[in-house]
Structure 1
Amino acid sequence: MIYLAAAVVLLGVLCLLNLLLTLGILRRMREQAAPAGGHPGPLFALGPGSSLGEFTAVTTDDEPVSHVTLTGVVGFFSADCEACHDLLPRFVEHARKLGRENVLAVFGGDDEASIQTLTPVARVVVADLGGGAVARAFQNTWTPTLYLIGDDHKVIATGSRMEELPLSNRYDRVAGKGQR
């Protein structure tokens, strides 16, 4: 009888150890899959080939922008996002190459310095990222998020770093090099 009790206790301890190891592995997998900001949801609600939702907005320069007129790179930034501030110089560099008409920056929060940095190289919409018209059209809930939008107004690519977007062909086309 004592051997049976010892076996049950040993089995219980092994099961508990197995459960703890499994939970540790799951936590590690979640940490590695989450973006820098730790957002637990899906990274991009709209993937390549997706159509944009309908929206209209006005930029900081009182220019209208809508789902019908939007092509190029769209970046979502937030004032309280460290990763956004790290991405901003690269975004501005690429925006200069693409031209202001091919870049839209959606900025949530009050960071006048970042908005002033973006305004010369991109059309800027200041909005509440969770409830703004542009964010709803993209189903975007976290930052930084980048989208490359084609001439057909569909998503070509998504990313959270500039290197994740295939921009070299777009540079050539904007500069007139890629035309036949």
Structure 2
Amino acid sequence: MPVLVAALTLVGLIATVNLLLSMGIIKRLREHTELLANLGGGPASLVAGEAVGEFSTVTVDDRPLDRESLTGETVVGFFSPTCQPCKEKLPTFIDYARNRTGGDRRALAVVVGDAEQAEDFVSRLSPVVRVVLENPDGPMSLAFKTRAFPTVLAVAPDDDGRLVVTDDHFALDQPAALV
């Protein structure tokens, strides 16, 4: 009987230590989650309702592009060739844009990186959408305040004619014709 009491006491002590360690780990994970959420000083891009800043650039096929040329609802995707999630999301973006009513006038891709690295992305996107190739501090990245990749936004003119973000968590799996 004393062996059974000692064994149960030992199991109880081990369970208590395990519980205390688990609570400490959970507290630490919450702190890390908060730190990661605040990394970069805020959201990864403009959020819904915010106006897009002024920009003027050209697409890879030398067509001028500025804020005023985005006249209807447009899906804008920001991709970086050095980002693994971008490589995974790119085919979904291409399929979405290919099936979207309005064709390349209603979708736009911004590839952020140097031309050599971005060559594959640009060649895959160009037949389907308008493509802009720029550096991280390029005019579109600044206008959309993009700091993370991939980022996919829906934009459209508001009642006052300002170009605003209408969806900052745009889901590419929704039907393209209904957007």
Would you call these one fold, judging by a TM-score over 0.5? yes
Residues 1:101 and 2:105 aligned together:
yes
Q: Among 86, 89, 103, which residue is 1:87 paired with? A: 89
Between stretches 146-155 and 41-50, larger displacement belongs to: 41-50
- Counterpart of 2:130? 123
Residues 1:75 and 2:77 aligned together:
yes
Gaps of 5+ in 2: 1-20
Cα offsets for 1:92-135 (capped at 9, x unmatched): 01111221111111101222111100001111110012x10000
- Counterpart of 2:172? 162
- Counterpart of 2:119? 112
Report the residue type matching 1:142 in the other structure.
A
- Counterpart of 2:30? 25
- Counterpart of 2:148? 142
Report the residue type matching 1:54 in the other structure.
E
Report the Cα offset of residue 167 of structure 1: 4.9
Q: Are the counterparts in 2 of residues 55 and 134 from structure 1 also a CA contact under 8 Å?
A: yes
Report the Cα offset of residue 166 of structure 1: 8.0
- Counterpart of 1:40? 39
Report the Cα offset of residue 159 of structure 1: 2.3
Q: Are the counterparts in 2 of residues 157 and 166 from structure 1 also a CA contact under 8 Å?
A: no
Q: Are the counterparts in 1 of residues 77 and 153 from structure 2 also a CA contact under 8 Å?
A: yes
Cα offsets for 1:33-86 (capped at 9, x unmatched): 76xxxx933334421111110001100010111111124010000010000000
Report the residue type matching 1:125 in the other structure.
V
Report the residue type matching 1:68 in the other structure.
E
Q: Where in structure 1 do 4 or more consecutive aligned residues deviate above 6 Å?
A: 17-20
Q: In angstroms, what is the RMSD of aligned CA positions?
A: 2.7
- By relative contact order (CA 8 Å, sep 6+), the higher-ranking structure is 2
CA spacing shift, 1:45–1:113, aligned 2, 3 Å:
closer
Between the aligned partners of 2:58 and 2:168, the Cα distance in structure 1 is 23
TM-score when scaled to structure 2? 0.71
Q: What is the aligned length?
A: 147
Matched position secondary structure for 2:39: coil
TM-score when scaled to structure 1? 0.71
Matched position secondary structure for 1:92: helix
